[in-house]
Amino acid sequence: MRHTNLDVALSTVSKAKPMAESPSTVSFPRNSVWLQWRPLWAAAAGLVIGVFSASMVWAYAVPIANRVVNRTIAVLSEGFEDPQFTPNRRFPIEANQWSGDLVASVEAEAEVTPLEGQRMLRLTLKPSRELSHAWRIVDLADFPELAHAETRRLEVSAAFNTPGPVGVLRYRLRLAAFSQEPTALRAIWSDESVLFDTMIEQVVRNVWTKPDDRGWQTVQASLEIPPGTRSTVISLAAGATDPDQPPEIHYLDDVRARFEIMQAPVE
C-alpha cells in the first residue's frame, strides 16, 4: 500500500503502544537500504522504533560535538490572537502561513482556556484522517546567511489541548528540511514517491497522554539544519489512539520557534 503523503505514511509508523515522550535517533545515508526498500520496510521499521521510543529521527548527520551556541534568532511566536485569522486548508505554497485542518482563532470554549493570551486555534478532524494537522513553512532565505564554521539548529515547541472525556491522545511535532524553495513543497509533500528521496532531514516527536491527563500538553523538538537547506516544514498534529472514538476538536496555542546559531571552537 502506498501512502499519499508524509503525515499519513508516518501515522502508520507511530502506531505502537502508548508511552511517554522519549528521544531516539536513527540515521540513514542517502543511498541506504532504508531508502531503496522504503515501501516494503517502513511498517516494520515503525514497529521496531515505536516499541522502544515515542520519537523518531532519520537525518543527514551534522556533527555538533564541541559546538557552542553564540546567538539565537527568533523565528516564530504564535498565539493566534488575530480574530480574523483565515487559514488555508491545503498544504502551504508560501512561507510564514498556517494551513491545514484549522478552523478559527477562538476565545475560551468547551471548558478550554487559551494557554497564552486571549485566543487559541481550533482544529477539526477530517473523516479521511486519523490526525488533525497544522503546517507552516520556514524559508531560510528570510534569515541571515551563516558565517564560516557556523551551523544552526531549529527549536520548536507547541501546546495542544483536547476537550471532553477522551482516552489516550497523541500529539506530534515534525520538522523536515528540504533544499527546495517553499513554492515547490506542496507537490513534494503529497507524493511519497519523491518525498523521502527529496527530504534532507526529518525529526519526529510524539507525545502520548494518559487517560487522566488533561489540560495543555507541550511538545518540543529540535532539528539540526544540514548544509543546502532552503526550506523547513513545521508539521503539528493531534489525534486519538482509538480510531472508533476520535475527538472532533483539538486546540493549538503558543507555538514558538527559534534558530540557535552554533560555531565550532577555534583550535
At 170-198, the pLDDT tens digits run 999 999 999 999 999 999 999 988 998 99
pLDDT at position 264, please?
Answer: 73
| Residue in the structure block whose three cell numbers are 505502537 | 16
When the candidates are 2.60.120.260, 3.50.50.60, 3.90.1150.10, 3.40.50.720, the CATH number that belongs to 6-263 is 2.60.120.260
pLDDT level of residue 213 (50, 70, 90 thresholds): confident
Task: Tell me which of 77 and 19 has the higher pLDDT.
Answer: 77
d(CA 36, CA 225): 24
Is 9 a residue whose pLDDT tops 70? no
Name 172's bridge partners: 206, 237
Residues 82-116 as b or e (16 or more Cβ within 10 Å = b): eeebebeeebbeebeebbbbbebbbeeeeebebbb
Give mean pLDDT, residues 102-123.
96
What does the pLDDT average to over 216-230? 96
Helix (H) or strand (E) holding 217, with range, is strand 217-225
- Beta-carbon count within 10 A of 167 CB: 14
* Cβ-based neighbours of 92, under 8 Å, separated by 6 or more: 98, 99, 135, 136, 137, 182, 185, 186
Q: Which residue has the higher pLDDT, 8 or 59?
A: 8
Whole-model pTM: value is 0.79
How far is the C-alpha of 50 from the C-alpha of 26, rounded, in Å? 12
* pLDDT surpasses 90 at 238: yes
- Which residues fall within 8 angstroms of residue 37, CB to CB, at 6 or more apart? none
Q: Return the domain boundaries, the chain.
A: 6-263
